[in-house]
Structures are given as structure tokens and as C-alpha cells.
Structure 1
């Protein structure tokens, strides 16, 4: 690096000897660019012309200028006028000094809001399959009881081979079809393990609006939607009824009960019975409750 004195001698100014220069002055205003001059007579700067009358809106002066226009509703409360809000204008009183009220609501818009209704699913195909399975049933009116109910319940009275349901079961078609298909398997097991044809099913509960396990604080049972059925016992023509109870291991009764319970898991999404819990110690609970990912509960 050059010494400052040598840099100065060679014509290269150093930081120590640099002299700041003032900024350049702006160019003069062009002569042909006139400004706004005051009026000669009054000496005041002229103002822009007034807004045309057809573009003006009447608005209240003073502190209320920013408030929306108000009308008096039928209930005596003040509210903004829809028409005035759209036009940005105030509602002026009539000659008598009263503020006009809006017209009455049209009759076809009065009353409570329309309820959204969902048409029940068509189960005609299911009913046709149920008939082909040899079941006897009749349609019942829709059930509606608070959160409980069924849109298209059936009264199921008998299944294939004249297997009676005592008493008849009130079920939706999907659950009735599952019961009919399972019973055909129970008939095969009865003939094989007991040598006697199945003649009846003793039904404990089908439709009933209640919580799970009769607990009023629990989630609603599938019985509440005619989607579950409890089988208490199996009846036969030539032998004693077999109740759904723990049977002596190795006996024909135990073999039959084990077989029909296992086959039920192929037709129902929920199967609970003796050994599951105390609430199902004397019957088979069968239902078609939908679960995530098609999960089934078979206990």
C-alpha cells in the first residue's frame, strides 16, 4: 500500500486527504409545467367540482354517519334495513314520524326450518334372499323411539324346515338373513351330533331400546336398532330342549353347543355367550354391529 503522501503525489487521493463533495443541485423546474395558482379575485386555491347529484347518497351527518340504517322489526327491536344496507342509504321516517317496517315474511317461508330426511336403504334384495332361505316374515312399520329405532323392521316368525321362533323376532333384514343362514348350519349340527332335527329357537330379546347389558349409562345396544338377537335355547322334536349353558365336556350337548357357537362367528359380527361375561352366561348374543376394518368380536 502506498504511503498517503506518496499516493497524493501520484494523483491518487487517500482516505486521510479525501475532500467530501456536496451533492449535485436538482435541475430547475421546466417553464412549461405550470402549478395551481390561487384565483386572482379571492386569492384562494380552487377546489375540485362538486359530486354530481345522481351519484350522491343521503347519509346522516354527525357522529351517527357511520352507523348502518335501522328499521323497527315486528318484535319491537331495531335492526338494519336490508334494502337500505344494499343501497347504502338510511330509512327515512314517514309523514307521521314512524319508521317503516319491512314487509311480512312470505307464508311459504314461515315456520320451522325444514328437517333433513334420509331415505332408508332399499332392502328388497335382502328380503328376496330371506324368502329363498325358507323364512317366514312380515314387514312392520318403522320404529322410532328417540335415538332407538329401525326404518324397515321385519317380524320374523319361522326359518327353513319350519323352525319356529318363540317368540317372533323383530329384526332388520340383514340380521334376519344372518340368523336364517346360521340356523341352516345349526340344523346340520343337530342332525350330526344329536340325531334329532332342530324345531325351534327360543328368543330372549330382539328389538329393545336400552343400553348395552341393560346399563342405562352405557352405549346403546344393537338391540336398540333391531340389529341384534339373543338365542336362549334350541328345541327338538324327540328330545329335551338344550339351553345355552355350560355343558359337560364330551357330551353330545356340549359338542352341539360348541359347533353352533363357532359357526355363528361366520355369520354375525358379534357373538357373545357363556364365558364371555356375566351378562351373557345363559344365552348367545348375536348382532351385526359395524366395526372399523371389518373387525369381528367372537367370544
Structure 2
């Protein structure tokens, strides 16, 4: 290569020869100094913090979005309902009980058959009872079933009408009743009343009895309001009331209070009244209550254990 010649300076001075320009090799950029371990951890924390929602001072920290379509779409979670009570709550009125608003329910229909049907005798028992009346010499007739349109339980399923309970001993006006009632009445008259009459002064002959209530669809009387009382045994043909005993040759002997009279008439009334409890399950009379001061009430009401009411 030719040596570089000096170029004359326009001012007459010589310049030193220029050095040849050589292409400099490209030097790599200096690597940034390595961060210490603490700086690396801070950088990692900054990266994580950048992905978390910013907490506001007046709200609770936001929960991360749940997995699902809303999270994938970037939907924000709904704010929770506030549990703070309102500043001005509305007044609460009186709670109306259901029984004040609900329509009254109709009365429940009675269950089971009417009482008169539960007392219906079987064919065998009915035939046996009629045979007993035949042996007693009773005068009677079988009549149609008795029922009440306005009271389902009242009535007699197999009634009979008795005019003479024993031969020559009449039931004044006749009386409808169940056969079982007539049979008990016949046994009482035959075994106790007629023999007791023979012990009265002058031994009168019994001709019959004057009757009070026989069959009657009504409530019990004596100690209960009739409108609220249970049905009387009269309503089923189970009861008969006797107000006086009549004789062929003398005045009637009424049933009435005879306390401490000390005569045979008082003894007769006490005797036949007490003996009635051997045939009937209920016997009431003078002294039981005001409603029974003028008659003997006799009935065959069924009670548990064979218990009897004799007053």
C-alpha cells in the first residue's frame, strides 16, 4: 500500500498524514448488572400484585372471581346484599291469626250408623225376646221402624207397641218401645210389683200403670240444659216412666216423695223401686232430682262392666 502523502495546508503548513480508517468490529451491548436476590423477589411480588384487584378503603376486599363462564368473560362479582337495617323501617301491623281469615269449616258428618241401628237386635235375639213376651202373656204388636228426619240417632229399629205387659195389667194408652225394654218391664211387674201390691192394706188387685214419657226424641233432663244435653234413653225406646199404679178396687197410688211416712205405702214404693235395679240399669225417682219427683224413670242403657245407676 502506498504511503500517505501529506496534503498541503491551504495556509502553507503541512498537515500530518491521516491515519487510515479501519472498520471497528461491532461490540455487544453491555449486559445489565444482575439484581441481587432481594430485588428479584420484589420484582416477583410486584408482578403478582399487578394481577390482584386494588382494595378500596371503604369496602371489603374483593373476592377473586369464581370459576365459570362469568369469570372467563371477565365479569365482576355482584356486590353482597347489605345487612344494615334501613334507617326508617316500615311499621309492622298486627298479625292476623289464620282462624280469623279462614272460612269456617262445615260441621263434620257423623261417622258410623245411627244409634238406633247400633241397637238393632239380631234376628235370633229379637225372636227370643218376642218369645219371652209371649210367655209373660203380654199384649203387643210389631210396628214399623221409628225414625226422626231432623235427628239421625233417634228412633227404634225394631219397635213394638205394648198395651198389656201382663194379662190384665195395662199400660195406659199403650207405649212404643224396644222389645228388650218391654221384657225387663214384664219381669219386674211379674216378680216384684204384683207380689208387693198384695202386701198393701186390703190387698188390692193391680190393674195397670199410668205412664209418663215413653218414646220421645229429646235430650236428658235433670241437671243439664235440655238444649245441650245428650239424647235421653227415651230417644231410643230404652226407657219408660211410671207415674202411678192403678187398681181394680181402689184409687191410684201415685209416685211421689214419701220420706219417713212409716207406712206400708212408703214401704211398697221403696221395695218396687229398689227391685227395679235387678231388671233395669237406671232407676231414678223422687229424691234423685226435681225432674223425677213425680215418676219412676226406668231404662236399660248399656254401661261398661254391668254398672247400674239406682237413685
Work out whether the TM-score is over 0.5.
yes
Residues 218 and 235, structure 2, Cα contact 8 Å, conserved in 1 = yes
Residues 244 and 295, structure 2, Cα contact 8 Å, conserved in 1 = yes
**1:27-59, CA deviations, whole angstroms, 9 ceiling, x for partnerless residues?**
xxxxxxxxxxxxxxxxxxxxxxxxxxxxxxxxx
Please state how far the C-alpha of 1:197 moved relative to its aligned partner: 1.6
The residue that corresponds to 1:176 in the other structure is 182
Does residue 144 (structure 1) correspond to residue 156 (structure 2)? The answer is no
Q: Evaluate the alpha carbon distance shift between residue 200 and residue 120 of structure 1 in structure 2; reply closer, same or farther with a 3 A threshold.
A: closer
- For residues 20-35 of structure 1, the aligned pairs below 5 Å read none
SS at match of 1:166: strand
**1:110-141, CA deviations, whole angstroms, 9 ceiling, x for partnerless residues?**
xxxxx988875220110011110111100010
The residue that corresponds to 1:165 in the other structure is 171
Q: Is the radius of gyration larger for structure 1 or structure 2?
A: 2
Residues 177 and 237, structure 2, Cα contact 8 Å, conserved in 1 = yes
Please state how far the C-alpha of 1:237 moved relative to its aligned partner: 1.2
Q: 1:228 aligns with which of 236, 239, 243?
A: 239
The residue that corresponds to 1:121 in the other structure is 122
The residue that corresponds to 1:191 in the other structure is 198
Q: Evaluate the alpha carbon distance shift between residue 251 and residue 209 of structure 1 in structure 2; reply closer, same or farther with a 3 A threshold.
A: same
Q: 1:268 aligns with which of 280, 299, 311?
A: 280
- What runs of 5+ residues in structure 2 fail to find an aligned partner? 1-111
SS at match of 1:154: strand
CA–CA distance in 1 between the matches of 2:145 and 2:237?
Answer: 11
- What runs of 5+ residues in structure 1 fail to find an aligned partner? 1-114
CA–CA distance in 1 between the matches of 2:121 and 2:280?
Answer: 22
What is the aligned length?
Answer: 185
The residue that corresponds to 2:291 in the other structure is 279
Please state how far the C-alpha of 1:280 moved relative to its aligned partner: 0.5
SS at match of 2:181: helix
Please state how far the C-alpha of 1:216 moved relative to its aligned partner: 2.2
Please state how far the C-alpha of 1:252 moved relative to its aligned partner: 2.2
The farther-off stretch of 263-272 and 249-258 is 249-258
Displacement over 4 Å in runs of 4+ = 115-120
Q: CA RMSD in A?
A: 1.8
Q: Evaluate the alpha carbon distance shift between residue 120 and residue 189 of structure 1 in structure 2; reply closer, same or farther with a 3 A threshold.
A: closer
Please state how far the C-alpha of 1:160 moved relative to its aligned partner: 1.7
SS at match of 1:232: strand
Residues 210 and 223, structure 1, Cα contact 8 Å, conserved in 2 = yes
Residues 201 and 231, structure 1, Cα contact 8 Å, conserved in 2 = yes
**1:72-127, CA deviations, whole angstroms, 9 ceiling, x for partnerless residues?**
xxxxxxxxxxxxxxxxxxxxxxxxxxxxxxxxxxxxxxxxxxx9888752201100
CA–CA distance in 2 between the matches of 1:235 and 1:143?
Answer: 29
The residue that corresponds to 2:220 in the other structure is 212
CA–CA distance in 2 between the matches of 1:171 and 1:156?
Answer: 8
